[in-house]
Amino acid sequence: MRARAAGLALGFAADRLLGDPARFHPVAGFGLMARDVERQVYRDDRTMGLAYTSVLVSGVGAAGLLAERMTARRPLMRTLLVATTTWAALGGRSLSREASYVRAWLDADNLPAAREQLTHLVGRDPSELDEQEIARAVVESVAENTSDAVVAPLLAGAFGGVAGVAAYRAANTLDAMVGHRSARYRNFGWASARLDDVLNLVPARLSALLAAALAPIVGGDGATALRTWTRDAHRHPSPNAGPVEAAFAGALGVQLGGTNVYGERVEHRPTLGNGPGALPRDIDRSVRLADAVGLGALAVSVVVALGRRR
């Protein structure tokens, strides 16, 4: 368990210092494999979608479990294995970088470039978004992805080691690929979407709690963040994005939510928070808060990993 805790800390540090692996990213490789499998087995059917998700996620988890058992008597190798897997699974540095790029384009009064950069963070159509709507989209993405791409992998590693991190990242990747609402994936992607919801129930609420506790770092108030979370989170269509985005809205003192366009689909989401709309300067504040939440999640995960030794 000491090796697991140390590996989580090293993997977190590697992500913050280096960002995503530049070449041969294992998550990208898994995505390509999953896409090939989908082409072979796809049917507009929940049962086939369940089999697809189960086989891929359990297969990745089993490979992680086997790798950990092979290093059971080699603490240094175990630590490096956990660190490498954690580094590949985390996305905190990339998230902060992409958000900062959008802010830079907004500061340069280059809306077309900011809209194009925004596509690296969100799936909504940015073509008609103004400066304030772009800022809102970035803050929402930073909040949600801090939970999905930082807090959740760390907790998965604390409880499940390499197998936990790998299986979580596989499930989260499948949700991004086939779990969205569309005519093609409404049935086939149902299992992936529901599995991702279940796996993120605890991380999302830990993220919201940490955002409230750390709100003073960005000039916010923890009580306001907690109140916004408990009052507004249920309005969001996602059971996990709701708590995180509401807590960030309260911590930053801004209002999130509104109309989002996804191709031909338009969503009118209820607002979260009582403050004014997000502005470009709130992008930097959301990144600072997200970085603090990531550090808080690392501390919790290390304590959990060490505590499991007992």
3-state secondary structure 192-208: HHHHHHHHCHHHHHHHH
Q: Which amino acid is at 28?
A: A
Question: How would residue 309 be classed by pLDDT, with cut points 50, 70 and 90?
Answer: low
Average pLDDT over residues 144-170: 96
Q: Token pair of 104, please? A: 């830079």
pLDDT in tens, 10-58: 999 999 999 887 677 888 899 999 999 999 999 999 999 999 999 999 9
Percent of the chain topping pLDDT 70: 99
Write the Ramachandran bin of 277: left for phi over 0, alpha for psi from -120 to 50, otherwise beta. Answer: beta
The CA distance from 20 to 180, in Å, is 24
* Domain residue spans of the chain: 2-307
Cα dihedral value 23, 92, 277, 285, nearest 10: -120
**Residue 156: predicted pLDDT:** 96
Asked whether 161 and 83 are in contact (CB, 8 A), the reply is no
Return d(Cα 277, Cα 230) in angstroms, integer. 20
**Residue whose tokens read 């409880």:** 159
- The mean pLDDT of 227-233, rounded to a whole number, is 96
Judging by beta carbons within 10 Å of its beta carbon (0-12, 13-18, 19+), is residue 228 exposed, middle or buried?
Answer: buried
- The CA distance from 159 to 202, in Å, is 12
Tokens of 210: 């940490």
Q: Which of 258, 181, 248 is nearest to 220 (CA)?
A: 248
Longest dimension (CA), the chain: 57
Q: Determine contact, residues 289/251, Cβ cutoff 8 Å.
A: yes
Helices 152-178 and 46-70 sit at what angle, rounded to 10 degrees? Answer: 150
Tell me the three state secondary structure of residue 259. Answer: strand
Residue 98 has pLDDT above 70, yes or no: yes
Q: What is the distance between the alpha carbons of residues 169 and 237, in angstroms, rounded to a whole number? A: 22
- Cα separation, 99 vs 95, in Å, equals 6
pLDDT of res. 310: 53
Give me the pLDDT at residue 252, please.
97
73, burial (CB in 10 Å: exposed 0-12, middle 13-18, buried 19+):
exposed
**Confidence at 222, pLDDT banded by 50, 70, 90:** very high
Angle at 204 between CA 48 and CA 209, to 5 degrees: 170
- Is 212:247 a contact under the CB 8 Å cutoff? yes
Residue closest to 204 by CA, chosen among 238, 177, 176: 238
pTM score, whole prediction: 0.93
The region of weakest confidence among 4-18, 87-101, 236-250, 263-277 is 263-277
Q: Does residue 75 contact residue 2 with C-beta atoms inside 8 Å? A: yes
pLDDT at 96: 95
Exposed, middle or buried: residue 72 (CB in 10 Å: 0-12, 13-18, 19+)? exposed
| Dist CA 99 CA 110 (whole Å) | 15
